[in-house]
Amino acid sequence: MIGTLTLLAAGVAAAGCPAVFDELANATEANYAGHVLKLPDEASRTDYRRFRTMLADRASRAEGHAACRTVLQAYVGFYADHHLFVRSREHFNSPIPALREAWNDERAQAYLAGRAGTLDPVEGRWFDATGTIAVVHDAALAPGQFVAVRLDGEAQGIPIALLENVAGHYRIHHEHPQWGWQLVDAGLHRDGSLLSFDTHGWGRPGDAHLASGDPMAPVFKDLGEGIYYLSMPSFMEPYRQPLMDIIATHGTSMGKARAIIADVRGNAGGNALYFPLAPYFLANDIRISEPSSVLASPWTIASFEGMRKNMGEHGAFLDAPLQAMREHPGEIVAYMEASTDGMPEYPPLPAQVVVLQDRGTGSAAEAFVYHARQSAKVVTIGEPTRGNIDYMQVSMHPVGAGEHQFWFGYPLYFKRGLPEGSIDDEGYAPDIRVDLPQSEWLPFALDWIASAER
């Protein structure tokens, strides 16, 4: 259930930025366990109250949706939790201005060829599961802004996103299929061949380590000499079956491998799709989960009641925590106990497993790192992960009204006793940190495998 979204119906609508700010802050204080745990003493609570008062004043002066969103995002940023966020609920107001050019494949190719060597790293040709995309600078845009335009299919020539480079950091306005137009962070990964944002991603055409039809799909490659490469850019539910298909087709080879390289760079999470890979990664029993708890609020109880109903007989494990929540409203109560698991025996092969991770590795992908790094045959290489597996399973709620409509997402439960690096943007440090272009990480991993065998 890692990263699962729960959508609940709207309550009484608020109006105006000051009202929606109060609605959001009150909802956070009432439902987010981190508000209790991250403010443990009077000094921290005093700082919080000053912070809320300051932002309430800013909300009173915020004009329009975008200005209000900035205030709300500053508020949730106080908690440094990627699973606590605010999103717009605008389905009709595109942020993309009228373009000066009529962009098509021919025009995009001429633009990119004429500026070779001076293009921004995000410019160029991309693809996703629905087709080809060009990211270019149109004369209607400000410096550092770029438009993404469809180059094929029924949407050919239609702009689909607005990107901005702010001191090397990217933001993207894109239309989420459920939530409307969103402004979120975007990151270039794998030496610029993968652009990740939200739980979506675009890939560079021709990259051998991305699936040709969908850059977020898993990819299996035989690197020769008994070494196999498994790329997993996403753990969202649509990629469960493709991963199972890889295991069904190549499981025998992986079970005889000299080494496996698992690449989760840029993987923002989803669900625990990776557990069927355990026989190829584990060399010993591991801690599957740490003890977890919930704050018994009306919203959280409603979310768990919905899960219990939907899961039928498989949801019986929720009965005890639900009873505890109903009996202790407003308190933190136990959710699930810690668990350790393993296999009856551990085969000697594969002899080594290397996990490639970066700052884009988060949520369920970070949980994969947490599980894999406990195995004696696993070494992690790259950068620290994102640091957001302590508060999990997002529940979404509508707040605000009129032009000030937003989604508020907060995590339903939190884990206790996690190892260092699990929380608040710190991340799990790799066993081997590399200061190399990401294009050299895979060759470095191959060299490491060879050196470890000597």
Q: What is the pLDDT of residue 15?
A: 62
**What does the DSSP 8-state code read for residue 235?**
B
- Measured CA to CA, the distance from residue 365 to residue 371 in angstroms comes to 10
| Amino acid in the structure at residue 370 | Y
164, pLDDT greater than 70: yes
Which whole number is the average pLDDT over 224-245?
A: 97
Round the average pLDDT of the chain to a whole number and report it: 91
Domain ranges of the chain: 6-88+394-413, 105-178, 219-291+339-388+424-452
pLDDT class for 160, splitting at 50, 70, 90? very high
Which whole number is the average pLDDT over 153-173?
A: 93
Q: What is the separation of C-alpha 141 from the centre of its chain, rounded to a whole number of angstroms? A: 28
pLDDT, tens only, 59-71: 999 999 989 999 9
Residues in the chain: 454
Which whole number is the average pLDDT over 88-113?
A: 90
Residue 21 structure tokens: 């700010």
pLDDT, tens only, 16-54: 999 999 999 999 999 999 999 899 999 999 999 999 999
Q: Look at 203 and 182; give whichever has higher pLDDT.
A: 203
**What does the DSSP 8-state code read for residue 152?**
S
List the beta strands (DSSP E) in 358-390: 378-382
Q: What is the pLDDT of residue 198?
A: 85
pLDDT class for 90, splitting at 50, 70, 90? low
Which whole number is the average pLDDT over 354-364?
A: 94
Q: Which helix (H) or strand (E) holds 452?
A: helix 441-452
What is the number of H-type helices and E-type strands within the chain?
Answer: 11, 22
Q: What is the pTM of this model?
A: 0.86
Query: Is 6-88+394-413's fold the same as 219-291+339-388+424-452's?
Result: no
- Domain 6-88+394-413 fold is Transcription Regulator spoIIAA (3.30.750)
121, pLDDT greater than 80: yes
Residue 410 structure tokens: 């907060």
Burial of 368 (0-12, 13-18, 19+ CB in 10 A): buried
Q: What is the separation of C-alpha 166 from the centre of its chain, rounded to a whole number of angstroms? A: 21
pLDDT, tens only, 3-17: 444 444 443 334 699
Is residue 421 left, alpha or beta, with left meaning phi > 0 and alpha meaning psi from -120 to 50? left
Q: Helices marked H in 101-209 — which ranges?
A: 105-114
CATH code that applies to domain 219-291+339-388+424-452: 3.90.226.10
